[in-house]
Amino acid sequence: MANASLVIGNWKMNGNAALTRSMTDALRSAQQPTDSVKVVVCPPFTLLGELTRHCYYDNIAVGAQNVNANENGAHTGEVSIEMLKELGVEYVIIGHSERRAMYGDSNDVVAAKTAAATAAGLQAVLCVGEDKQQRDDDKTWHVVEQQLQAACEQLSAEQATKLVVAYEPIWAIGTGETATPAQAEQIHAQIRAWLTERFAAVGEKIEILYGGSVKADNAAELFAQQHIDGGLIGGASLKEDQFVAIVQAARG
């Protein structure tokens, strides 16, 4: 039986206006009257307004893939929290491994973004995860714990109510490899214990997602794990039939 409550699609630097229409149509058609699974779509910045218009009356939330921690100012090419909120954005992905590796999002930068987003009322989807060498060296939890500690150090319990954690092993992102349900569950259980120790009762309710080559044919087994509350979906979220199937797997 699925344990999932949240499925987020991360389009990365893909998609167009036509996809915002076809995806919302597909998700709308598959909705259920008493739907317990929240669906979030995170397109590129240029499509946020378009997506919001298409899913305004539906139980589909809009998320962004990044944000700047500063309120405003001379930050050419950046987008602020208030700009996102004005577009109707509710979620924002922070600390994705691609941002960390390619665009200089250090633990300090991730912490600043997480603190600013949660303080402003956005749901911050904090990404954590290890690379292949770190897993081979048995350092997975050491890496994940450091990332959690850095990102959550400034957060109050109230801010933590706006936190989502996404465990994405870097070696499984876009590679076709996926952590086994047992491997994913082990790290998710450790994350849950850490969050509960850090934030007490609030930590017990923070949703923890798995990401890393989640597809329609492996989603149900992953979502059946006790501490896996849903998924952060990459490539499969660009294909209407696959993304709908993953959402259906989350519903059980």
Q: Does residue 62 belong to any structural domain of this protein?
A: yes
pLDDT digit string, tens, across residues 164-188: 999 999 988 877 777 899 999 999 9
pLDDT averaged over the chain?
Answer: 94
- Check whether 16 has a pLDDT greater than 90: yes
Q: Does residue 232 belong to any structural domain of this protein?
A: yes
Q: Residue 118: what pLDDT?
A: 98
Is 168 among the residues known to form the active site?
yes
CATH of residue 143? 3.20.20.70
Rounded CA-CA distance 159/142 in Å is: 24
Annotated binding-site ranges for substrate: 10-12, 174, 213, 234-235
Q: Residue 171: what pLDDT?
A: 86
What is the average pLDDT across 51-57?
84
* Domains identified in the chain, total number: 1
Give residue 31's domain range. Answer: 6-251
What is the average pLDDT across 19-35?
88
Q: Does residue 239 belong to any structural domain of this protein?
A: yes
Q: Does residue 40 belong to any structural domain of this protein?
A: yes
Split at pLDDT 50, 70, 90, the class of 127 is very high
Catalytic site residue from 54, 96, 188, 227: 96
What is the greatest pairwise CA distance in the chain?
A: 50
Amino acid at 176: G
Q: Residue 57: what pLDDT?
A: 65
Q: For 115-134, b where at least 16 C-beta lie within 10 A, e where not — what string?
A: bbbbbbebbbbbbbbbbeeb
Q: What percent of the chain has pLDDT over 70?
A: 98
Q: Does residue 149 belong to any structural domain of this protein?
A: yes
Q: Does residue 1 belong to any structural domain of this protein?
A: no
Split at pLDDT 50, 70, 90, the class of 19 is very high
Q: Residue 252: what pLDDT?
A: 87
Catalytic site residue from 50, 98, 130, 168: 168
How far lies 25's CA from each of 9, 30, 58, 64, 95, in Å? 15, 9, 10, 20, 30
Split at pLDDT 50, 70, 90, the class of 1 is low
pLDDT digit string, tens, across residues 225-242: 999 999 999 999 999 999
Q: Does residue 100 belong to any structural domain of this protein?
A: yes
How many C-alpha atoms does 24 have within 13 Å on its Cβ side? Answer: 24
- Check whether 59 has a pLDDT greater than 80: no
Q: Does residue 18 belong to any structural domain of this protein?
A: yes
Is 75 among the residues known to form the active site?
no
pLDDT digit string, tens, across residues 184-233: 999 999 999 999 999 999 999 999 999 988 999 999 999 999 999 999 99
Q: Residue 157: what pLDDT?
A: 96
Length of the chain, in residues:
252
Give burial (CB, 10 Å; 0-12/13-18/19+) of 218: middle
Q: Residue 31: what pLDDT?
A: 84
Q: Residue 187: what pLDDT?
A: 97
